Amino acid sequence: MCQISRRELLIGGAALLGVASENLIVPARAQVDQVDRVANDIYFHQGNLGRGHCNNGWVVFEDYVLVIDANYPSGAREIIPKIRAITDKPIRFAFDTHHHGDHLYGNQVWVENGATPVAHTGVIDEMKKYETGYYASAPGRWEESAKRRDDMKDSRLKPPSLLFPRELVFDDGKHRVELIHIGVAHTHGDAVAWLPNEKILFTGDACVNGAFNFVGDGNVEKWIPTLDAAKKLGAQIVCPGHGPRSDQTMLDDQQSFFRALREQVGAQVKGKKTPEQVRDSVDQIFGAITANKQIQRYANRGSLRAQMEKVYEEMTGKKFPAAAKTAREHRNFHAHQHGLDLVG
């Protein structure tokens, strides 16, 4: 116990307040940019969205460390010394939960520190669509982001090289981590990290804790049953891609937000409203969602119209008038929320 307390001090944690079992530490006390020891050898780090950083996790196995999400380069460089304060075991793997820059663009930093980037095969499929500067000739999202982030100027895009189509398991007899593609959600290449022994789930952006849902690269209709699959795992602790960690109720809340969004837009479609009328009902739908205390934290006026448009397009095959502008506004909102208009 003295050794644990010394490590907690090294990484800025507080003394343990409660233990649900021999290994599981339930209270969520960590603040942004602080290390949160979730269970023995298992850590969660809530990223600073002001710098565009996603949340990270890592698991200390007997012979190596597995990191969950590569972050931006600046996020990766921030996490490495925090891992080193805990263990001197080599960092061998960095798991990209999906292809977005705030979860993958730090891959090169991890490679330089001895790690292999790991992802679902769908991540490469998505990158081939959006990272045209790497896979084709026209500038893509990396180049767009590099114009805005200083931390990317001395790095380069590094796609994951260890790929799995469905599931990849790390197991040293003490800890087991299952990387699983459970369905389409935030993107078409999402995967989660499931720790069945401790019942801890790292979701990436398939589940977040706040108004951070970018739906432009995913499918809201499919997202809902994907969250059902996540719930069936039986997690007691859920570590999201953004926002503070919580318990399994976060999966319910995230799912309920999407259900409410589809119900609200669906009512407009059933009422034979025109695309213009649905588009202009944003205040009405925002009011209905924020009136529900369970899901009100997921609604933001800056992104709701584009979320509505995505659902409307899934239901009807049609876009809102001035769709390009709406989509661009949503991309800009997502960029702002993930630090793309800020330095790293």
Same domain, 98 and 236: yes
Residues 245 and 292 placed together within one structural domain of the fold: no
- Final residue belonging to a domain, choices 255, 289, 306: 255
328 with 215, same domain?
no
Asked if 243 and 100 sit in the same domain, the reply is yes
Q: Which two tokens stand for residue 285?
A: 């739908």
pLDDT of the residue at 45: 98
User: Alpha-carbon distance 68 to 334, whole Å?
Assistant: 21
Mean pLDDT to the nearest integer, 231-246: 98
CA dihedral of 218, 156, 330, 272, whole degrees rounded to 10: -30
Amino acid occupying residue 273:
K
Q: Please check the confidence at residue 9 and state whether its pLDDT lies above 60.
A: no
Same domain, residue pair 204 and 96: yes
- Give the pLDDT of residue 31: 85
Per residue in 105-148, pLDDT (tens digit) is: 999 999 999 999 999 999 999 999 999 999 999 999 999 999 99
- My answer on whether 251 and 263 are in the same domain is no
End-of-domain residue from the set 255, 284, 308: 255
Mean pLDDT, residues 52-64 taken together: 98
- The answer to whether residues 162 and 268 belong to one domain is no
**Could you report the per-residue pLDDT of 152-189, keeping only the tens digit for each?**
999 999 999 999 999 999 999 999 999 999 999 999 99
Task: Report which residue type is found at 116.
Answer: T
Asked, for residue 128, whether it belongs to a domain, the answer is yes
| Domain membership flag for residue 188 | yes
> Region 56-85: what's the mean pLDDT?
98
In a domain, 8, yes or no: yes
Across the strands, what pairs with 246? 238
**Residue range 10-37: mean pLDDT, rounded:** 51
Per-residue pLDDT, averaged over 40-46, amounts to: 98
The domain tally of the chain equals 2
Residue 87, in any domain of the structure? yes
Q: pLDDT for 180-217, tens place per residue? A: 999 999 999 999 999 999 999 999 999 999 999 999 99
Average pLDDT of 31-60?
96
Q: Is the pLDDT of residue 26 over 70?
A: no
| Residue 342 included in any domain | no
Q: Output the average pLDDT for the chain.
A: 89
Q: Do 300 and 193 sit in the same domain of this protein?
A: no
Q: What is the DSSP letter of 151?
A: G
Indicate the residue among 201, 229, 255 that finishes a domain: 255
pLDDT band at 48 (very low <50, low <70, confident <90, very high): very high
| 191 and 285 part of one domain | no
d(CA 214, CA 333): 9
Residue 343 lies in a domain: no
Q: What is the pLDDT of residues 267-279, one digit of tens each?
A: 999 999 999 999 9
All residues at 6 or more sequence positions from 201 whose CB lies less than 8 Å from its CB, including other chains: 192, 193, 194, 195, 230, 233, 235, 237, 238, 239
Please determine, for residue 332, whether its predicted confidence score (pLDDT) is greater than 90.
no
User: Is 344 contained in some domain?
Assistant: no
The verdict on 226 and 303 lying in the same domain is no
Position 156 scores a pLDDT of 96
**pLDDT higher than 50, residue 240:** yes
Q: Are 62 and 172 in contact (CB under 8 A)?
A: yes
pTM, two decimals, is 0.88
Percentage of the residues of the chain whose pLDDT score is greater than 70:
85
Residues 131 and 219 in one domain: yes
The residue-averaged pLDDT of 5-27 equals 34
Domain range spanning residue 316?
258-337
Q: State mean pLDDT over 280-286.
A: 97
Compute CA distances 123 → 70, 100, 204, whole Å: 13, 9, 13
pLDDT of res. 262: 98
Note whether 111 and 218 are same-domain residues.
yes
Mean pLDDT within 239-250: 98
Q: Which one-letter DSSP state was computed for residue 293?
A: T
CATH, residue 49: 3.60.15.10
How would residue 322 be classed by pLDDT, with cut points 50, 70 and 90? Answer: confident
What's the pLDDT score for residue 4?
A: 29
Cα–Cα distance list, 164 to 81, 161, 177 (Å): 29, 10, 14
pLDDT at 344 over 50: no
* Whether pLDDT at 334 is above 70: no
Residue 327 pLDDT more than 80?
no
Question: 81 or 11, which is more confident?
Answer: 81
In a domain, 170, yes or no: yes
**pLDDT at residue 2 is higher than 50:** no
